[in-house]
Amino acid sequence: MSSVGVCNSINLKGSVSIIKEFFNYCINNILFQRGIYPSDSFTAVQNYGLTILMSKDERLKKYLQIIFDQMQTFLLQRKLHRVVMALIRMDTKETIERWEFRIDCDKENIDDEKKIDVDLKVIQTQIRDLIRQITASITYLPLIDNPVSFDILFFTDKDTQLPSADWQDSISHIIPNAEEVQLRSFNTKIHNLKASVAYKQNG
């Protein structure tokens, strides 16, 4: 007997929805794991077969919703190539941690409506393994013992039109002489996402 997976069809919009949902859970998870917000401002939810902590802070939720909605627009336009989440010491303005997510899209062969057969269970498993790895990273990442803020950057095509004056060019938050760890990836067959984290060693 051969094993058979659960096949589904997705198009560009469906792939973008998967990526947008991943980032919602992923960024909330990093904010919780790295102690950027108080632990009691998060609530536990279930997804990908995991318990993930999600912020209850209404201001943060509104801010992230704006970020994710614009991410969706750029992805549908096939103009977004990298998402970076930088953690920045508030006193020195020094970037101490940099989470990078590279997003490759087959622009030539994917149109808006073309559907591709995928095994959604496999994609969910890949996402679960990546989020687990991010959660486990606290075992080797340096302790954050100073107040930090975070910034989310989009790396897009040069001709990308910005949605409003609230969006502007930013520095890349590269960390000199950083330690870097390559993390897992997931692939929707339309988008391939590869993750890594770079961090400043204490001392």
pLDDT by residue (tens digit) across 42-98? 999 999 999 999 999 999 999 999 999 999 999 999 999 999 999 999 999 999 999
> Three-state DSSP class for 27?
helix
CB 193, CB 22: distance < 8 Å: yes
Domain 7-199 bears CATH identifier 2.20.28.120: no
CB 88, CB 173: distance < 8 Å: yes
**pTM score:** 0.90
DSSP secondary-structure letter at 112?
A: S
